[in-house]
Chain A
């Protein structure tokens, strides 16, 4: 009744939609809830997406062992610890890779993951081949593709040598979108 009373005193100009207290309250409530929902939602989205924003910058140099653990001319399996290891990760944090010591300070460090679909490739020193048990990708000793479905050679990690220790720049499982 109060609204009708007001209308009597101040008739609305043409073309202006009627404004009621209920209407304002409804829109105000809606707007306040949108703001409140954003206050709750944005941090939640950030929380879930935080895994994406952790960028390569965080990739650390991770020790693989002394150089003399990798005899010249041989390719050996090594594991490095995931630099983002959490206390409950257990052995899943031990990431394997193949270390090929060519000569002197010359190494190649291959990701264990087949470039096709990520299965673990196995090294066969007798024939000098890496073979994948999933879809039959085969690579030569230098990591180049020999046969099978992989679209490229094995992924190589960057490495460096510090005080007689081999260090690998790991921290990210390579896939076709971006090589290490």
Chain B
């Protein structure tokens, strides 16, 4: 009669972890492709308004951001509680917007300059006066494509 050899060792064999690096690399590549690097840290409150009829901003490299909002508490002492403009991580005045746009536009290849979009990331509590002033400056420097960046209505509480 054939005897099946029975192992008397009660130890469970170790699970092979050889495939673990592959799994982790897969995750890594996933995150590398779907995310973008944070460009700047915000020094202002920036809760965007909510809208439903929105269009996605394509071509991140052709988008210039202008943030507007009330300064966060560490900066409120110096800059006050009224909404301020933040350009490229620094507080700025309305008169700084024009030179900033021109400087950014100069770094874009000429045939793509017409496609540049200005993304206005304005806090919902800011006042229209400041936004109107920014829009006047944008008209002066012929940056006419603007996008009032908002959250989509499906996920109103998402963070920027």
Are A and B physically bound partners? no
Residue positions of B touching A, CB distance < 8 A: none
Residue positions of A touching B, CB distance < 8 A: none
